[in-house]
A and B are shown apart, each in its own frame.
Chain A
Amino acid sequence: MDFMLDKKHEMARQLFKEFAEKEAKPLAQEVDETEQFPAETVAKMKKAGFLGIPVPKEYGGQGCDPLTYAMCVEELSKVCATTGVIVSAHTSLCCDPIMTFGTEEQKQKYLVPLAKGEKLGAFGLTEPGAGTDAQGQQTKAVLDGDEWVVNGSKCFITNGKEADVYVIFAVTGTVEKRGKKMKEISAFIVEKGTSGFTFGTKEKKMGIRGSSTYELIFTDCRIPKENLLGKQGQGFKIAMHTLDGGRIGIASQALGIAEGALERTIEYVKERKQFGRAIGAFQNTQFQLADMATKVEAAKLLVYKAAMAKATQKTYSVEAAMAKLYAAEVAMEVTTKAVQLHGGYGYTREYEVERMMRDAKITEIYEGTSEVQRMVISANLLK
């Protein structure tokens, strides 16, 4: 067992770090303040190949592994969690399901431009009445000739208005499972600009404020029959598979936020003086930092292990759930302690830890709440 990164992963981390420091960090505060989507940074990430890291080269991607992708989201999130989630939602939630379940034609038409970064992707599963309970879906798709007619809405969609390609889910009928009538859910690829597909309200959020979170509205939206992703009725399976990968992305984001907050705090406690000494000289500060650093390291091991599991194992739901559960809770705890160690200054927008604490909270909620992760983990223990 080797816990060291090899040279190519080290160099990739160096690249992500340099990019994050130079391109994303200077804009992070402004992106948060103005709720502006960082389009300029996304254009630069396209050039640098960050939008198709784990996609094979034959489909326009970089041909790297999930660990490299996880490190990219981690390094971006250290300085700007908004930028981190843009990459995560695009890659894990849109590129990945098309790569895994798409036909060759769908891959050529959608995955290639997505992986090259020419198009941005999004994922629409959540509805006002269907969050953790995916069976609560109300959006319907009915086959009419050569087209599916979609009606309904999706909410809290990351990259909402900025994306070009959306993987969405809709009820296509009913099926009987163990004597119970269940909704049959199917997945579809929808392009921006399709007639009947519009955007609702933009969410005003606590954190990751630049990430363009929108409602998607489908009113008699007609999409070609061939845009069904996977088989009819395979939607739930596709959603769960996609979220397993997505959780590794969000776990990486959470890890990055925690690391970023720890770095800022270490700098601050060396500078800030009280009672004639730097506050880092007090044992309380030292013990807090020791606990923060230990938890960050444990989170990192879980996240990297889950990323490696995605590369080598057929299923990795438990690894992904553990990584996301732990990294998200560590992000919340570490950022809260970081604000506390910054004192009154930490509560102001002048210091980045204030933003990081707000950004951290969402990692315990989206792509499966911490409670859902506990359900996944315990279900595996008790099966």
Chain B
Amino acid sequence: MKIVVCIKQVPDTKGGVKFNPDGTLDRAAMLTIMNPDDKAGLEAALRLKDQYGAEVTAITMGLPKAEEVLREAMAMGADKGILVTDRVLGGADTWATSQTLAGAIRNLDYDLIITGRQAIDGDTAQVGPQISEHLDIPVISYAQNIKVEGDSVIVERQYDDRYHVVKAQMPCLITALAELNEPRYMTPGGIFDAYDAEITVWGRANLIDVEDSNLGLKGSPTQIAKASDKVRKGAGEKVTLDPTESVDYIMDKLVTRHVI
């Protein structure tokens, strides 16, 4: 079985968020991690590898620095890493990103593509399903459990108050939830091997069946009007009152603000 896992290097929410003048994230200036949903997707692929035997290829689109997240994936157990990087791909929204990744994946043999449900920096949950549309394969989103049976996958798809059991024939695409599993740690030896390994680097020229008009900032229908870090709330108002007075005080505030 051949599995392609799409992963993204995202800002570590513990570090500060920095923006470019055009409102997009200044990724080069921020501390980064592997997107949690993607990490769960990678772990799911590695478990299928442990169970059934598979070749796992991790792919990412990003700055040259995004190679780090591929090394991390390989240190966890992925067999190959592919970095898609090119100036013309910068500033991509979900449409341009999915076009790029689909264009890259067309170079590969695959039975299964796994992506995270969504990235913690954009929270759109669009890229995975869009890739499946571009490649014309079925998609099962929000996977909370994945099994392989013959040439099909059986997936528990999370729903608000239940889950659906969905079966799809491979090749297909699955989007994974962080709750799917507890990702394994890298191993020290895996890290050493990952740094000795070659990362495949692809640019615009390697993308198959993608128009220039669908790439990068120019190919992105989403235009960001304004972006900002979350605004810190003030210290608030502190009052010291006895319990009865406190209740009256809070009720008065809630009524004044039309909360109740």
Which residues of A are interface residues toward B (Cβ below 8 A)? 7-8, 11-12, 15, 18-19, 47-50, 53, 57, 61-64, 68, 72
Contact = CB atoms under 8 A, between A and B. Distances in A.
B72 interface: yes
Contacts of B189: 49, 53, 57, 61-64
Nearest to A19: B185
B40 to A, nearest CB: 16
Interface in B144-185: 184-185
B19 interface: no
B185 A8 contact: no
Contact of A68 (B71, B72, B188): B188
Contact of B190 (A7, A49, A50): A49
Taking residues whose C-beta sits less than 8 angstroms from the other chain, chain B's interface range is: 10 to 19
26 contacts: A7-B68, A7-B71, A8-B191, A8-B192, A8-B195, A11-B68, A11-B75, A11-B186, A11-B191, A11-B194, A15-B75, A15-B185, A18-B185, A47-B184, A47-B185, A48-B184, A49-B188, A49-B189, A57-B189, A62-B188, A62-B189, A62-B192, A64-B191, A64-B192, A68-B192, A72-B188
Interface string B222-250: 00000000000000000000000000000
B184 A11 contact: no
Contacts of B190: 49
Contact of B72 (A11, A49, A62): A11
B186 A62 contact: no
Given A7-B68, A48-B186, A64-B189, 13 more contacts: A8-B192, A11-B68, A11-B75, A15-B188, A19-B185, A49-B187, A53-B189, A61-B189, A62-B187, A62-B188, A64-B191, A64-B192, A68-B192
Contacts of A57: 189
Nearest to A9: B191
Nearest 6 interchain pairs by C-beta: A62-B189, A49-B187, A8-B195, A48-B185, A62-B188, A64-B188
A178 to B, nearest CB: 45
Nearest to B190: A49
B63 to A, nearest CB: 16
Interface string B181-209: 00011111111101100000000000000
Contacts of B192: 8, 12, 62-64, 68
B72 to A, nearest CB: 7
Contacts of A63: 189, 192
B185 A12 contact: no
Contacts of A72: 188
A48 B187 CA distance: 5
Contacts of A48: 184-187
A12 B191 contact: yes
Contacts of B71: 7, 11
